[in-house]
């Protein structure tokens, strides 16, 4: 889906252009109609245009009925709808369901600026001329929107575009906050309900519709010139054949496409992938060869909805789900420079702890200490202050199809900001023209030591997973994680204790299944400690049980309304796909349940998903036994 160019302009009563708002990012003033390359306004309006509509703001996307938006352009605010922290496609979907006819997105400085930091190029904050790009598809793991669930090969049956998965039916346009301020300054309607609805601009943040005073007659016109085109994309795949188990794969994958220069996303990750591959090449030249096959994958079209990685997974699904040991993601190596961040399956926790103790910390003040020590000091776990924090996998990068759909053990590591003090989203210039190599070199990682540490950890994970005789997974960590998640979802239900009793909702089966899984995990590790490592068949049997455990948490029917998210324990949050949610079926069934029109049916859905989770965990425990 390629964009040609866009315009947003305010019209006078007679239709004359008052102010042109463009997504091009220049440090100076906005371009006007006399600038080269700007097409004159034409009375012949192109398709997909919201023309001459009053402007109205729609807030609070969790309440899709909060404001009716018929025949209005909707100006969505990251600071209110958490566009800065969540997926912008969800915001578009919410606005469409409320009746919006067009959407103008901008990044508010309240969410994209750090206090005391200059805008780029003098600092690393977001300039007012910056427009954040991004896809607004709501694919939910479907891959190519015209071939959901199947590889987009030449012979593939394709849906018509109007039937494609998750494709917005209204125009969407990004602008910088300098341009947004002009629109907001003249916006009329009622005032914001409270301060939490306001951002960092010097405007009243009225809700609309329409403009105020002498500007009440003005309208907003959107020109969106999108070219919908089926085009070829290219994944680049390299392999090192395993010496003992060539039919077992460890995958290191990351994307190389970017919205503009991609100084951080993806280049810091693509460079890491190249360096790790080169290092393994040198090992190979010295006579070493891994026990298992290593696959290096450079994905295309990640920014368009994880298309390259998902289509390759769909094309090779039968082989991958039978032979893959693990997938390690190599997207952006840095999104900040404070400390390490790890998101992974519980199977990898102990391996990550072990390897970070063997890598030197790149952080100031931790000279001579390990990466583990600086990570623990800066970001301890909320569950145990003796361990560093490891987060759940959500979505937003190329591990999605491998973990959420196929059940392949996955992980990602990178450097990040201080989550306790840095409240701005991700990194301020994310997906803008200001995300350059100079940004990284001057502000984020001048010595490149942090990216080196990330490359060492990613490479070490691949090395250990590919060359250890016994796959270095720890199932007992999974058991502890399930115990914590079961308690958390039960505690959430206690907010509705009376309703649970009334509708006969019980978590007893879930707790019983988790207990059985914990016992099976302990027994498995006892057998693992006693295995004869010189007996290849005995080792292979246990390795297969380790490899297939993650697959045991996959439900072939998927989650309600999200059939390509099939992991019963982990899934992207329904309300923010970048974040991970535990027991997503139960959580989604209970979400906002007190406002459901039919409480009886709603609580039946909760009971159903408790049952599914209990069965899945019990079945996973069964895979750890020697026999049925």
**What is the distance between the alpha carbons of residues 268 and 65, in angstroms, rounded to a whole number?**
41
Handedness of CA 311, 320, 332, 104 (dihedral sign): positive
pLDDT of residue 487: 98
When computed from its CA atoms, the radius of gyration of the chain, rounded to whole angstroms, is 26
**What is the distance between the alpha carbons of residues 327 and 320, in angstroms, rounded to a whole number?**
10
For the whole model, what pTM was predicted?
0.89
String of DSSP letters for 381-404: -SS-TTSB--BPP-SSSTTHIIII
Q: What share of the chain is helix, strand, coil (3-state, %, to 5)?
A: 35, 15, 45
Domain 475-623 of CATH type 1.20.930.40: yes
Question: Catalytic positions, please?
Answer: 302, 506, 544, 567
- Residues in Cβ contact with 34 at an 8 Å cutoff, skipping those fewer than 6 apart: none
pLDDT of residue 92: 87
Q: Among all chains, which residue has been given the structure tokens 């009329």?
A: 188
Structure tokens at 448: 């490149």
Task: Indicate the SS3 state at residue 29.
Answer: coil
Beta bridge partners, 7, equal 223
**What is the distance between the alpha carbons of residues 350 and 476, in angstroms, rounded to a whole number?**
10
Q: Among all chains, which residue has been given the structure tokens 């200490």?
A: 369
Low-confidence residues of the chain, pLDDT below 70? 1-86, 576-578
String of DSSP letters for 412-442: EEEEE--TTT--S-S-TTTTSTT--HHHIII
pLDDT of residue 16: 43
CA dist 152 → 146, 300, 436, 530, 563 (Å): 8, 13, 32, 47, 18
Structure tokens at 622: 């069964």
CA 403 to chain centre: 13
- For the domain made up of 236-467, the CATH class stated in words is alpha beta
Task: With residue 111 as reference, give the H or E element that holds it.
Answer: helix 109-112
pLDDT in tens, 537-554: 999 999 999 999 999 999
End-to-end CA distance of the chain: 50
Task: Indicate the SS3 state at residue 178.
Answer: helix
**What is the distance between the alpha carbons of residues 454 and 460, in angstroms, rounded to a whole number?**
10
Residue 116: burial class (beta carbons within 10 Å; 0-12, 13-18, 19+): exposed
Instruction: Please report how the helices 449-467 and 267-285 are oriented relative to each other, as an axis angle in degrees rounded to 10.
Output: 50
pLDDT of residue 90: 83
**What is the distance between the alpha carbons of residues 402 and 391, in angstroms, rounded to a whole number?**
17
**What is the distance between the alpha carbons of residues 319 and 237, in angstroms, rounded to a whole number?**
15
Specify the pairing of strand 324-329 against strand 410-416: parallel
Closest CA to 395 of 86, 168, 60: 86
3-state secondary structure 451-504: HHHHHHHHHHHHHHHHHCCCCCCCHHHHHHHHHHHHHHHHHHHHHHHHHHHHHC
Enumerate the domain spans of the chain: 1-223, 236-467, 475-623
CA dist 330 → 253, 296, 457 (Å): 6, 10, 11
Check for a shared fold between 1-223 and 236-467. Answer: no
Q: Which CATH architecture has domain 1-223?
A: 3-Layer(bba) Sandwich (3.50)
Contact predicate 107/126, CB 8 Å: yes
Closest CA to 553 of 418, 393, 336, 378: 393
Extended strands (E) in 288-408: 292-299, 324-329, 339-344
User: What are the φ and ψ backbone dihedral angles of 603, each rounded to 5 degrees?
Assistant: -75, -30
Closest CA to 467 of 281, 322, 325, 254: 325
**What is the distance between the alpha carbons of residues 342 and 350, in angstroms, rounded to a whole number?**
12
Contact predicate 380/389, CB 8 Å: yes
């Amino acid at each position: 889906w390629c964009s040609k160019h866009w315009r947003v302009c305010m019209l006078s009563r007679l239709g004359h252009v008052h102010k042109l708002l463009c997504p091009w990012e220049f440090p100076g003033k906005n371009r006007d109609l006399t600038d080269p390359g700007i097409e004159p306004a034409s009375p012949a309006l192109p398709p997909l245009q919201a023309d001459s509509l009053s402007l109205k703001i729609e807030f609070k996307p969790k309440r899709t009925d909060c404001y009716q938006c018929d025949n209005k352009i909707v100006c969505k605010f990251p600071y209110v709808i958490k566009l800065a922290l969540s997926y912008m496609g969800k915001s578009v979907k919410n606005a469409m369901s409320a009746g919006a006819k067009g959407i103008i997105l901008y990044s508010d400085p309240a969410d994209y600026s750090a206090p005391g930091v200059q805008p780029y190029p003098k600092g690393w904050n977001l300039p007012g001329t910056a427009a954040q790009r991004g896809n607004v598809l709501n694919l939910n793991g479907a891959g190519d929107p015209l071939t959901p669930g199947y590889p987009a090969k030449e012979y593939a049956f394709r849906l018509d575009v109007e039937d494609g998965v998750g494709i917005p039916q209204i125009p969407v346009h990004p602008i910088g906050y300098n341009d947004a301020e002009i629109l907001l300054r003249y916006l009329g309607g009622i005032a914001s309900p409270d301060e939490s609805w306001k951002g960092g601009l010097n405007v009243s943040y009225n809700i609309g519709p329409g403009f105020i005073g002498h500007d009440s007659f003005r309208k907003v016109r959107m020109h969106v010139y999108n070219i919908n085109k089926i085009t070829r994309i290219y994944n680049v795949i390299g392999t090192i054949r395993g010496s003992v188990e060539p039919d077992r794969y460890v995958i290191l994958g990351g994307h190389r496409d970017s919205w503009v220069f991609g100084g951080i996303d993806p280049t810091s990750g693509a460079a890491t992938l190249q360096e790790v591959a080169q290092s393994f090449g040198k090992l190979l030249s010295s006579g070493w060869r891994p026990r298992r096959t290593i696959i290096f994958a450079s994905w295309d079209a990640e920014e368009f909805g994880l298309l390259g990685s998902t289509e390759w997974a769909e094309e090779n699904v039968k082989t991958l789900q039978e032979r893959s040991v693990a997938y390690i993601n190599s997207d952006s190596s840095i999104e900040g420079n404070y400390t390490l961040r790890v998101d992974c399956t519980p199977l990898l926790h102990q391996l990550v702890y072990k390897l970070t103790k063997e890598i030197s910390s790149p952080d100031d003040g931790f000279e001579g200490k390990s990466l583990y020590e600086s990570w623990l000091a800066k970001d301890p776990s909320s569950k145990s202050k003796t361990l560093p924090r490891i987060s759940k996998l959500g979505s937003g990068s190329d591990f999605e199809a491998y973990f959420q759909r196929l059940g392949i053990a996955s992980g990602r590591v990178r450097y990040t900001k201080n989550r306790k003090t840095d409240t701005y989203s991700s990194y301020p210039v994310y997906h803008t023209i200001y995300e350059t190599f100079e940004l990284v070199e001057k502000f984020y990682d001048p010595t490149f030591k942090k990216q080196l540490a990330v490359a060492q950890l990613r490479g070490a994970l691949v090395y250990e997973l590919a060359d250890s005789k016994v796959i270095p997974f720890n199932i007992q960590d999974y058991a502890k994680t399930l115990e914590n998640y079961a308690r958390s979802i039960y505690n959430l239900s206690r907010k509705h204790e009376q309703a649970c009793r009334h509708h006969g909702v019980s978590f007893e089966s879930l707790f019983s299944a988790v207990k059985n899984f914990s016992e099976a995990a302990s027994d498995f590790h006892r057998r693992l400690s006693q295995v004869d490592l010189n007996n290849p068949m005995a080792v292979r049997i246990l390795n297969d049980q380790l490899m297939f455990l993650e697959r045991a948490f996959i439900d072939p029917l998927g989650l309600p309304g999200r059939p390509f998210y099939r992991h019963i324990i982990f899934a992207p949050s329904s309300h923010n796909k970048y974040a991970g949610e535990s027991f997503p079926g139960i959580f989604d069934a209970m979400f906002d349940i007190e406002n459901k029109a039919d409480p009886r049916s709603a609580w039946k859905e909760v009971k159903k998903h408790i049952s599914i989770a209990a069965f899945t965990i019990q079945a996973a425990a069964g895979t750890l036994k020697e026999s049925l």
